[in-house]
């Protein structure tokens, strides 16, 4: 989904100076924001406490929302550059259309992966008819310099690798975990997984020592390294871990994200990831002039206008604040 804040701020993220070289346990509350159809979502990245985890630079959790008597999600055409969008549903369905001509219905357990490269636009909506509940996460991955100006494309993967542990059923969304590798195209060392946890779990999940990690809960009940993880918060785990201890006080679900700390400094604003504020301003101008990002056909409403850029100059802020 899009970042549809009406007054988004410029954010400079990335670089490795603020990466914890040791294991950490930092619980950071997210913040509630509204997307295009005024549905509230919980934003865990970026927040005041942390802006990136590996190459992951954006994470929203939404739902479960009862949309039986309404239109559900309705996000009009909008642009992206310099990133990948990762759509992951736990309930419901989402109809994707993009300016490269792709139309796809994303279902629970499917990976919808859009690589914007130099520029793409897309829309997202609940199809008609649609399921009663909508529940999922939307994530972005910052593209490294060598890939960020490439050709845009879209992937839909309906079968993803799984791994099992006592009381744990895991699906690899991006990258690799315990020998299971996602088919999604990745441009940086990365990992992302959905962990469905039974009641009474007590298990250690293997991790890569050189990666940094975080978890978010889409259902309550999980305790990670002794820290309960409530819905609406991100628990940052740092680097240098061979594994992580997970136990549950009730059946629950966690999303695990991680990867090699992203070395490049990036600038994020609205739906753009660049390297300078000048790049961001140019992309905004091109979107408003209907250049560069193509046209999405088939959506029932006009495309979104870009917000106004903030008047203040960009101030370097790093990965954390």
Asked whether the predicted pLDDT for residue 315 surpasses 60, the reply is: no
Top pLDDT among 271 and 315 is at: 271
The secondary structure of 267-321 as a DSSP string is: EEETTEEESSHHHHHHHHHHHHTT-SS----S-SSPPPPPPPPPSSPP----S--
Over residues 256-301, the pLDDT tens digits come to 999 999 999 999 999 999 999 999 999 999 999 999 999 999 999 9
- 165-191 average pLDDT score: 96
Percent of the chain with pLDDT over 90: 85
Condensed to tens digits (0 to 9), the pLDDT of residues 101-134 reads 999 999 999 999 999 999 999 999 999 999 999 9
What's residue 71's pLDDT? 94
Query: Tens digits of per-residue pLDDT, 147-157?
Result: 999 999 999 99
Is-contact 264 14, C-beta < 8 A? Answer: yes
Q: What is the pTM of this model?
A: 0.92
CA dihedral 164→162→105→294, nearest 10 degrees, is 130
Residue 160 structure tokens: 């993803």
Q: How would residue 316 be classed by pLDDT, with cut points 50, 70 and 90?
A: very low
Q: What does the DSSP 8-state code read for residue 53?
A: B
SS3 of 100, please?
coil
DSSP string, 4-18: --SS---EEEE-STT
In this predicted structure, what is the pLDDT of residue 229? 98
Q: How is the beta sheet containing 227-228 ordered, strand by strand?
A: 202-206, 243-248, 222-224, 227-228
Residue 79 has what pLDDT? 98
pLDDT value for 20? 62
Note the pLDDT of residue 318.
Answer: 54
Summarize pLDDT for 12-40 with one digit per residue, the tens: 666 555 676 789 999 999 998 876 556 78
């Amino acid at each position: 989904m899009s970042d549809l804040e009406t007054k988004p701020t410029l954010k400079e993220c990335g670089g490795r100076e603020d990466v914890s070289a040791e294991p950490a346990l930092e619980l950071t509350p997210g913040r509630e924001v509204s997307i295009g159809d005024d549905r509230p979502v919980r934003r865990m990245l970026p927040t005041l406490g942390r802006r990136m985890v590996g190459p992951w630079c954006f994470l929203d959790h939404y739902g479960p929302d009862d949309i039986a008597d309404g239109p559900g999600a309705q996000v009009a055409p909008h642009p992206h550059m310099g990133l990948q969008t990762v759509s992951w549903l736990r309930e419901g369905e989402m109809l994707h259309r993009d300016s490269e001509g792709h139309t796809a219905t994303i279902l629970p357990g499917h990976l919808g992966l859009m690589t914007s490269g130099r520029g793409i636009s897309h829309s997202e909506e609940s199809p008609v008819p649609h399921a009663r509940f909508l529940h999922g996460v939307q994530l972005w991955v910052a593209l490294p310099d060598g890939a960020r100006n490439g050709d845009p494309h879209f992937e839909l993967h309906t079968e993803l690798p799984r791994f099992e542990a006592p009381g744990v059923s895991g699906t690899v969304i991006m990258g690799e975990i315990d020998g299971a590798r996602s088919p999604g195209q990745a441009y940086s060392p990365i990992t992302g997984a959905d962990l469905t946890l039974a009641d009474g779990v007590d298990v250690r999940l293997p991790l890569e020592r050189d990666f940094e990690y975080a978890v978010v809960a889409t259902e309550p009940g999980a305790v990670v390294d002794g820290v309960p993880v409530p819905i609406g918060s991100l628990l940052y785990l740092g680097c240098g871990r061979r594994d992580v201890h997970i136990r549950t006080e009730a059946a629950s679900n966690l999303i695990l994200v991680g990867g090699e700390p992203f070395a490049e400094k990036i600038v994020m604003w609205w739906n753009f990831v660049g390297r300078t504020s000048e790049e961001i301003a140019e992309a905004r101008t091109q979107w408003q002039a209907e250049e560069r990002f193509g046209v999405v056909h088939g959506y029932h409403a006009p495309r979104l206008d870009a917000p106004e850029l903030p008047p203040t100059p960009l101030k370097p802020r790093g990965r954390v604040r």
